[in-house]
Structure 1
Amino acid sequence: MERNDLCWCGSGKKYKKCHMPIEEKMMLHAEKGEIVPTRKMLKTPFQIEKIKESAALNTAVLDEVAKYIHIGMNTAEIDDIVYTFTKEHGGIPAPLNYQGFPKSVCTSINNEICHGIPDKNIILKEGDIINVDVSTILNGYFSDASRMFKMGHVSERAERLIKVTEECVKLGLEAAKPWGHLGDIAYAINSHAQANGYSVVEEIGGHGVGLQFHEDPFVSYVTPKGSEMLLVPGMMFTIEPMINEGSPDFYVDEENDWTVYTIDDGLSAQIEYMVLIKENGVEVLTK
């Protein structure tokens, strides 16, 4: 673009006053051999506002689940809450029929790492820990987040795993700085998990989100500091490490071809935030 052209992002500003300094800085990093995002991966001001509306509904859905989740309910009831609340507020549950997924939410209990399928025969019991992963489409824009819930009194090992997972996500957020790297987030998360005797699932990670359910980049949580893609203002992705009590290895349920289990039957926990990289830091959009 020419310096005095209106910026491609639709801000109404001239290119030289908007994305030109950002893209010039990206070029300098690219010349040093670093991985930089494409222009398509940088959300425009209009897109950001629309995605934030989706994110607000996504958070409200999780708040609704938090009101009603309890010992003795079955996970199909959680699915009903998510579907009904989302539809009543003009949204669509993103997981429903996504690549054949049969429900509106993922409910992963104890040794299930992710993609647990709600079922009327799965009853929440005293001592269970459950990850509820909600994703929402509102007016064509996508958002994503998950929370851990403890059913009554849980074991000391479950309490500690969830606490460390919360700390990992917090440290990941602190490491998500503009002009840093995705590897900085990974290092902060992985090093803290390992220091506490836990492992981080390697093959499943975070992802870009907003215009689609899953976009580039893939967000690993086991790569070295200073590696992976440059963090540029306008990038939007999830921070959602899966922290395992034992081995990071897993297997997928052969019957439903979705639910992911720990290989050693150990507990697993996950917390997911959706974030936006800004010029002065990081903004949490969902949690």
Structure 2
Amino acid sequence: MQQRKMPILKSPREIQIMREAGRIVARVHAAMREAVRPGISTWELDQIAVEVMQKYNATSAFLGYRGYPAHICTSINEELVHGIPSKERVLRAGDIISIDVGVRYRGFIGDSAWTYAVGEVSQEAQQLMAVTEACLYAGIEQARVGNRIVDISRSIQWYVEEHGFHVVREYTGHGVGRQMHEPPQVLNYVSNDVDGNYVIQPGLVIAIEPMVQQGTWQTRTLSDNWTVVSADGSLAAHYEHTVAITHNGPEILTLP
């Protein structure tokens, strides 16, 4: 029988620190939103992110994590997650780029991802981004005391599939705190996984992060052993917030 690892509930003081970490993440994303344009390299975006983190006495939670070689993840078009910034990878008009930002601040993690349009993008790309962002908030709405993790999963999957897109299976949301990945696992689709039945309690902090693709839910990993792409080469999008569950409902920590 599969053993469930119990989530580590956070105290109000710990959530306050995580809120500060989340605000730093939000400031990095504000800088990304301003910087994303045709002609900029993903390496330059990485350096801008470092400058913001350093300004607020935070460090990248990604650099060195399982050997990851950069400060943020930059995934373009069919790339879903874990794209590595480089000087050679330059954004072009019509691209979409998913930027995942994780910071460590006073021992705690803040984690958030967003997908940005580079100049004018196709209607299909706009719809994919809109649906993925909306399903994130549909999932957050279900992150309430007394609900189960599967209620988050179900709302995300239903919204995505209702709009004709596909929820990725291999990569999921997760608990977050002093570690990047803590229990429970937060799937973006309904499954009989052991964490799905976990009853949400105040003090739980989770990263809710739907990953959605245009043509298939399947993925593959490139030869760099990091960059994950859609199996059919169709567009992919990724949105994520760190969310604390309180008696008053879900509180998004990765907002300005």
What TM-score do you get using the length of structure 2 for normalisation?
0.94
Written as runs of structure 1 = structure 2, the 5 A alignment for 1:169-188 is: 169-188=136-155
Shift of the alpha carbon at 1:188? 0.6
Distance (Å, rounded) in 2 between the aligned partners of 1:148 and 1:118: 15
Q: Which of 15, 25, 43 pairs up with 2:10? A: 43
Q: Secondary structure at the match of 1:120?
A: coil
Alignment of 1:1-287 (within 5 A): 38=6, 41-223=8-190, 227-254=196-223, 256-287=224-255
Per-residue Cα deviation, 1:228-253 (whole angstroms, up to 9, x for no partner): 32111110011111011011111111
Residue type matched to 1:93 in 2? Answer: S
Q: Deviations over 1:57-114 (max 9, x none)?
A: 1111111122222111000000000112211221101111111100000001110010
Say whether the 8 Å CA contact 1:147–1:271 is kept in structure 2.
Answer: yes
Cα gap change, 1:166 to 1:90, in 2 (>3 Å): same
SS in 2 for 1:152: coil
Unaligned runs of 5+ residues in structure 1 are: 1-34
User: Quick one: distance in 2 between partners of 1:173 and 1:196?
Assistant: 18
C-alpha displacement of 1:50: 1.3
The CA distance in 2 between the partners of 1:205 and 1:154, in whole Å, is 27
CA contact (8 A) 1:187 1:224 kept: no
Per-residue displacement from partner, 1:146-200 (whole Å, max 9, x unpaired)?
1111011101110110111111112111122211011111111101111111110
CA distance in 1, matches of 2:70, 2:5: 33
Question: Structure 1 CA distance, aligned partners of 2:226 and 2:234?
Answer: 18
221-230 or 262-271, which moves further after superposition?
221-230
- Which is greater in Rg? 1
Aligned residue for 1:286, secondary structure, equals coil
* Alpha-carbon distance between aligned partners in 1 of 2:158 and 2:127, rounded to the nearest angstrom: 16
CA distance in 1 between partners of 2:144 and 2:200 (Å): 7
Q: 2:135 touches 2:155 (CA, 8 Å); kept in 1?
A: yes
Cα distance in 2 for partners of 1:102, 1:36 equals 32
SS of 2:201 mapped into structure 1: coil
Residues in 2 aligned to 1:284 and 1:89: alpha-carbon distance in whole angstroms: 20
Partners of 1:227 and 1:52 lie apart in 2 by 26
Task: Tell me how far apart the structure 1 counterparts of residues 141 and 183 of structure 2 sit (CA, whole Å).
Answer: 21
Q: Residue type matched to 2:253 in 1?
A: L
* Worse-superposed segment, 128-137 or 225-234: 225-234
Q: Which residue of 2 aligns with 1:15?
A: none
**Secondary structure in 2 aligned to 1:133?**
strand
Query: C-alpha offsets along residues 250-286 of structure 1, whole Å, 9 cap, x if unaligned?
Result: 11112x1100010000101111011011112110111
**Within 2, Cα distance between the matches of 1:227 and 1:206?**
12
Distance in 2 of aligned mates of 1:222 and 1:265: 22
- 1:25 corresponds in structure 2 to none
* Structure 1 residue matching 2:253: 3-state secondary structure: strand
Match of 1:125, SS state, is coil
The alignment's C-alpha RMSD in Å is 1.7
Q: How many pairs does the alignment contain?
A: 251
Q: Is the 8 A contact 1:134 1:146 kept in 2?
A: yes
SS state at 2:125 partner: helix
